[in-house]
Amino acid sequence: MGSLAKYKNERLVITPVDAQRVLLFFFHRLPPGLDDNDRRFAQALILAAAEATAEIGILERLWRSASSPTAKPMGILKDVAKSVLKYLGRPRKLIDAIDAPNYTMVVNSIAYGYSGAWQARIQTDDSSLLM
């Protein structure tokens, strides 16, 4: 996986609750407590997913024929991602990309790529391993 964007505190817009939702969606497991490094990681994950989705929009038709995303968890993730993208002033095409069916495929790919870092974070309780 490529490197994730790094956010300073003034650019960290994802709430602790939304970060928890995003991290649960990506990895299905949380450490005992989340800190700002975890929030940065969650924000970077959803933005990376939006950017990757915009780049591979050509696969949308193939994805539609292969899978259908679950509505509720994906809806929450999409809302969080759109809010963060709007706040950071990202291009409209990235915000629109979140509604593409292949967003779920991209999210799964990113989750797989960073699952080792997330497992290390949970096992050591050291959030500095994420960024």
DSSP the chain: --PPP---GGG----HHHHHHHHHHHHS---S---HHHHHHHHHHHHHHHHHHHHTGGGHHHHHHH----HHHHHHHHHHHHHHHHHTT--HHHHHHTTSTTHHHHHHHHHHHHHHHHHHHHHHT-GGG--
Per-residue buried b or exposed e for 113-126, using 16+ beta carbons within 10 Å of the residue's own CB: ebeebbeebbeeee
Q: Judge whether 42 and 23 are in contact, CB under 8 Å.
A: yes
| Spatial separation of the C-alpha atoms in residues 92 and 71, rounded to whole Å | 22
Q: What is the pLDDT of residues 14-25, one digit of tens each?
A: 889 988 988 988
Other Cβ atoms less than 10 A from the Cβ of 17: the count is 10
Instruction: For residue 99, give the nearest of 117, 129, 79 by alpha carbon.
Output: 79
Q: What is the pLDDT of residues 80-93, one digit of tens each?
A: 777 777 766 766 66
Q: What band does 61 get if pLDDT is binned at 50, 70 and 90?
A: very low
**Amino acid occupying residue 56:** I
Domain parsing of the chain, residue ranges: 16-25+33-129
Q: What is the pLDDT of residues 32-53, one digit of tens each?
A: 889 998 998 988 888 888 777 7
Q: What is the pLDDT of residues 105-122, one digit of tens each?
A: 777 888 888 888 889 988
Q: What band does 62 get if pLDDT is binned at 50, 70 and 90?
A: very low
**pLDDT number for residue 114:** 86
Q: What band does 55 get if pLDDT is binned at 50, 70 and 90?
A: low
